């Protein structure tokens, strides 16, 4: 079984991309290695994103805010797939990625922007987790080894549209 590197991008790298990294790494049973980064990373990971990652069994020691530039360098792990999870990051000029990975946009509202009770905020984080989990599970059903990059890109877009 081939292992694939998948990078989740957001602007702040504090919530949605962190959740994507943790989910991809834990629910894929070794098929995916999740990474996350941001175009303008915040100084801290949101506590609810950290809590969610730990609940999934993902080590909090692996989580830190990172700039996407870190993954554009020659020494970085080569990505097979890059998924933007916020509309701001999708619209920004991204670095040139080594290896020309398949890219897609799976946008979600920012759960950290939710104003309300603790229950409402937790619900927003849970909605991002459910949405990303569903998309990653659909993605893992694909016969990645037999698909070309154009087909994979098409499937990534369809997964978001139909999830």
Domains located in the chain, CATH noted: 4-162 (3.40.50.2300)
Mean pLDDT calculated for residue range 135-148: 95
Cα–Cα distance measured from residue 61 to residue 79, given in angstroms and rounded to the nearest whole number: 21
pLDDT confidence of residue 132: 97
Annotation says 15 is catalytic: no
Percentage of residues in the chain having pLDDT higher than 90: 74
Rounded mean pLDDT, 128-149: 95
pTM: 0.93
Lookup: tokens for 155: 């499937």
Strand stretches in the chain, DSSP E: 4-10, 32-38, 81-84, 102-105
Structure token digits, residue 23:
């989910």
CA–CA dist 140, 94 (Å, integer)? 25
Nearest CA to 23 out of 156, 98, 125 is that of 125
pLDDT at 153 over 70: yes
Angle at the Cα of 28 (from 119 to 83), degrees rounded to 5? 70
- Mean pLDDT throughout 7-30? 95
Give the tens place of pLDDT for each residue, 2-12: 999 999 999 89
Q: Assign 72 a pLDDT band (cuts: 50, 70, 90).
A: confident
Residue 46, pLDDT above cutoff 90: yes
Provide mean pLDDT across the span 13-26.
Answer: 96
Q: Catalytic: which of 7, 9, 10, 18?
A: 10
pLDDT greater than 60 at residue 92: no
Question: Which one of the listed residues 94, 121, 142, 157 is annotated catalytic?
Answer: 94
Of 18, 86, 128, 156, which one is the catalytic site residue?
86
pLDDT at position 94, please?
62
pLDDT mean over 130-141: 97
């Amino acid at each position: 079984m081939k292992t694939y590197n998948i990078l989740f991008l957001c602007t702040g790298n504090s919530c949605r991309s962190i959740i994507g990294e943790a989910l991809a790494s834990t629910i894929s049973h070794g098929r995916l290695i999740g990474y996350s980064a941001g175009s303008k990373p915040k100084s801290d990971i949101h506590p609810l994103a950290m809590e969610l990652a730990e609940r999934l069994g993902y080590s909090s020691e692996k989580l830190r805010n990172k700039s996407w530039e870190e993954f554009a360098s020659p020494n970085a792990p080569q990505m097979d797939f890059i998924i933007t999870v916020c509309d701001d990051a999708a619209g920004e000029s991204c670095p040139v990625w080594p290896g020309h990975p398949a890219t897609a946009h799976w946008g979600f509202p920012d759960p950290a922007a939710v104003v309300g009770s603790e229950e409402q905020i937790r619900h927003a984080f849970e909605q991002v987790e459910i949405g990303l989990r569903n998309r990653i599970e659909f993605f893992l059903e694909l016969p990645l080894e037999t698909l070309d990059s154009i087909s994979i890109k098409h499937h990534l877009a369809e997964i978001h549209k139909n999830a």
